[in-house]
């Protein structure tokens, strides 16, 4: 199906969990946090559900889930992880044009999706349309302000920020709050979940060069190679040892938006 300029993850499906997975502790803490929000507001729609890193544990914790994603291979992985059976309804679809009638969900969630969607405001409008009054939208806004943010900013300066991010800029959480306020929703920040990481610069740049991250897919190969070489040289000066874990713990921040 047409992606409307969004970035489907077909080519990442095989390596997604390996390269973006959550630790068991972070996964359990996330499930606990979200389950408390969702128990009284079901079913819950997850847009960009992917391989089910969030949706599958919530389903196993008793939350009635429905998933939408542009990528059949990502949904295929989710089914594989659920012993080959459909754990809950999964629909290949676009978050900016949801195939549901109004007011059918009690809640919705989105993690690491809206930065991939040029028309992310339309996706929010759609979520508000399909979630009932007094429901909640749960949106993960990331993430590190530390060394990895600095490295990302350095790459942005070489490649161009718009090449690296087609949708919402999570470092500008106020944009999301404003868009949600315009839709009548009130923001709450949920307690931070901490995620352990063993990511080193050596592994990160290797993964960038291997095209593991979605932002690399639309950058011309020569430009990417040049930007990576330059950022590596800068990173070596700035942070030293390429085999050091740069940020052993990073915050994962969820915002809840209560609908009127």
Ligand X SMILES: C[S@@+](CC[C@H](N)C(=O)[O-])C[C@H]1O[C@@H](n2cnc3c(N)ncnc32)[C@H](O)[C@@H]1O
| Site for ligand X, rule CB under 6 A | 6-9, 47-50, 53-54, 68-71, 74, 94-96, 111-113, 116-117
Least spacing, CB of residue 241 vs ligand X, in Å: 29
Residue 88 DSSP label: S
- Nearer residue to ligand X within complex by CB, 74 or 185: 74
Q: Return the closest-CA partner of residue 246 out of 203, 192, 211.
A: 203
Least spacing, CB of residue 247 vs ligand X, in Å: 19
- Nearer residue to ligand X within complex by CB, 8 or 235: 8
Least spacing, CB of residue 48 vs ligand X, in Å: 3
Element (H, E) at 115: none
Least spacing, CB of residue 69 vs ligand X, in Å: 4
- Nearer residue to ligand X within complex by CB, 227 or 254: 254
Least spacing, CB of residue 1 vs ligand X, in Å: 10
- Nearer residue to ligand X within complex by CB, 37 or 94: 94
Q: Return the closest-CA partner of residue 51 out of 104, 100, 111.
A: 111
Q: Return the closest-CA partner of residue 35 out of 193, 195, 183, 260.
A: 193
- Nearer residue to ligand X within complex by CB, 22 or 259: 22
Q: Are strands 105-111 and 131-140 parallel, antiparallel or unpaired?
A: parallel
Ramachandran angles phi, psi of 184, nearest 5°: 90, 10
- Nearer residue to ligand X within complex by CB, 75 or 159: 75
Task: Give Cβ neighbours of residue 228 (< 8 Å, ≥ 6 apart).
Answer: 155, 205, 208, 209
Least spacing, CB of residue 231 vs ligand X, in Å: 21
Q: Find the angle CA(68)-CA(72)-CA(76) to the nearest 5 degrees.
A: 100
248 - beta bridge partners?
none
Residue 25 DSSP label: H
Query: Both ends of the chain: CA-CA distance in Å?
Result: 33
- Alpha carbons 84 and 146: distance in angstroms, whole number: 39
- Nearer residue to ligand X within complex by CB, 59 or 112: 112
Least spacing, CB of residue 57 vs ligand X, in Å: 11
- Alpha carbons 157 and 234: distance in angstroms, whole number: 13
């Amino acid at each position: 199906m047409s992606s409307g300029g969004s970035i489907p993850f077909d080519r990442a499906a095989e390596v997604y969990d390996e390269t973006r997975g959550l630790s068991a502790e972070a996964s359990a803490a996330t499930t606990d946090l979200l389950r408390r929000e969702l128990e009284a507001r079901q079913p819950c729609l997850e847009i960009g559900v992917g391989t089910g890193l969030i949706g599958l544990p919530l389903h196993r914790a008793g939350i009635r889930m429905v998933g939408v994603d542009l990528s059949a291979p990502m949904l295929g992985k989710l089914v594989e992880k659920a012993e080959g059976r459909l754990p809950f309804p999964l629909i290949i679809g676009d978050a900016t044009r949801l195939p549901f009638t109004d007011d059918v969900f009690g809640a919705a969630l989105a993690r690491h999706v809206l930065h991939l969607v040029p028309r992310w405001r339309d996706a929010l409008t759609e979520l508000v349309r399909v979630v009932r009054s007094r429901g909640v939208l749960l949106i993960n806004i990331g993430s590190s302000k530390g060394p990895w943010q600095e490295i990302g900013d350095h790459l942005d300066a070489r490649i161009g920020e718009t090449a690296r991010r087609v949708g919402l800029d999570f470092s500008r959480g106020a944009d999301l709050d404003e868009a949600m306020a315009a839709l009548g929703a009130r923001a709450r920040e949920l307690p931070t979940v901490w995620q352990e990481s063993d990511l080193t610069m050596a592994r990160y740049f290797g993964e960038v060069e291997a095209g593991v991250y979605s932002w690399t897919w639309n950058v011309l190969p020569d430009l990417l190679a040049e930007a990576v070489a330059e950022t590596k040289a800068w990173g070596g000066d700035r942070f030293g040892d390429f085999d050091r874990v740069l940020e052993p713990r990073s915050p994962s921040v969820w915002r809840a938006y209560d609908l009127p």
